[in-house]
Amino acid sequence: MPRQPAQPLAGGRGYDAIAAPVFGRVHADRLLLEYDDERSGTFDPLRLVPDDKVVVLGLVTTKTSRIEPLEQIKARLDEASSLIDPGRLALSPQCESPMRLASLASPPVPTGSAAAGAGA
């Protein structure tokens, strides 16, 4: 079956249509939201994120070779911070989870015979 081209979220309205029914009911500590292009819409739906959740903003694209200027990223974080406590915001590339990025930055965990010899 041929792959369908990417469609705008919720018919081009970003997260507006799903924020109210989803953000409060999802059983997760963090919401990873892609905000690297215009199809994601505005940050207004962040108002609907419950106080017990962290929002990971995927502001950095991996879809193109374009590198976002640091000032642009700071400005977008400031904009999001006007709607949700900045202590509940995190930054991530649009398609990678922070856990995956952390694992890439960490030294590998020994496995097999390497792990057995480590405790000796």
User: Mean pLDDT over all residues of the chain?
Assistant: 79
What pLDDT, on a 0 to 100 scale, did the predictor assign at position 12?
56
Whether pLDDT at 103 is above 90? no
Query: pLDDT confidence of 107, banded at 50, 70, 90?
Result: low
Helix (H, G, I), strand (E, B) or coil at 56: strand
Between residues 20 and 8, the one the model is more confident about: 20
- List all residues 6 or more positions away from 59 whose beta carbon is below 8 Å from its beta carbon: 35, 36, 68, 73, 76, 77, 91, 92, 94
What is the mean predicted confidence (pLDDT) over 97-106?
48
> Domain boundaries in the chain?
9-100
pLDDT above 60: residue 68: yes
For residue 15, with 0-12 CB atoms within 10 Å meaning exposed, 13-18 middle and 19 or more buried, which class applies? buried
